[in-house]
Structure 1
């Protein structure tokens, strides 16, 4: 669980909280098939830790997205709140 003031968050939780995936199981499957990179490094670990400033490259069905993490959320919020968690680079 992400405690207030914590400076890391699991990759699978971030993907759900930022609304890139609907559930953690979908997020885990996306990561395990190699569709996610953290700071240009491929990862297949849903439990990888993220920090503000990390850059994610996501190969989603809608296309490739490259985003910089700005905030680590504590829970899944509205779509408007989710878009404030990251900045699209590409």
Structure 2
């Protein structure tokens, strides 16, 4: 899985091999959706990735700013995939602060133990409708 004789690889294939996405199709959709930037620019799934390139990846609520260290043609174990890239220090600290903020938000706003039943849903709907009519 280490660096092959090739010096370039498709971006979608590398994202799949580095285990950022479960399938190449998901990687391609993320690239087409503008969630991946190669060296600060929007790109296409077939863009050629080289060692030393910088990637900015937005995945769900997380953001990764990484530098490509190795190229891989095949997907392997996670321990090997981690060696394919190096995450910047700023990216790690930003992600940790985002995760801490989400944990704190979840602690302050716990989820209800169950969904509201039919009667409770009707009360909620009536309340929302009444409140929205008063503010209109």
Fold-level match, TM-score > 0.5?
yes
Offset from partner CA, 1:56-85 (integer Å, 9 cap, x none): 000111411010000001210100000000
**Structure 2 residues not aligned, in runs of 5+:** 92-136
Larger radius of gyration: 2
1:15-66 CA-to-partner distances (Å, cap 9, x unmatched) read: 10000000011111000001110111122x1000000000000011141101
After the TM superposition, which residues 9-88 of structure 1 pair with which residues of structure 2 at under 5 Å, given as runs?
A: 9-43=9-43, 45-88=44-87
User: Aligned equivalents of 2:77 and 2:61: distance in 1?
Assistant: 20
Q: Tell me: higher relative CO, structure 1 or 2? Use CA pairs within 8 A at least 6 residues apart.
A: 1
Q: Which runs of 5+ in 1 are unaligned?
A: none
TM-score, length of structure 1 as denominator length: 0.92
Q: Which has the higher strand share?
A: 1
RMSD: 0.8
Q: List structure 1 runs of 4+ shifted beyond 3 angstroms.
A: none
TM-score normalised by length of structure 2: 0.61
Distance 2:49 2:73 in 1: 13
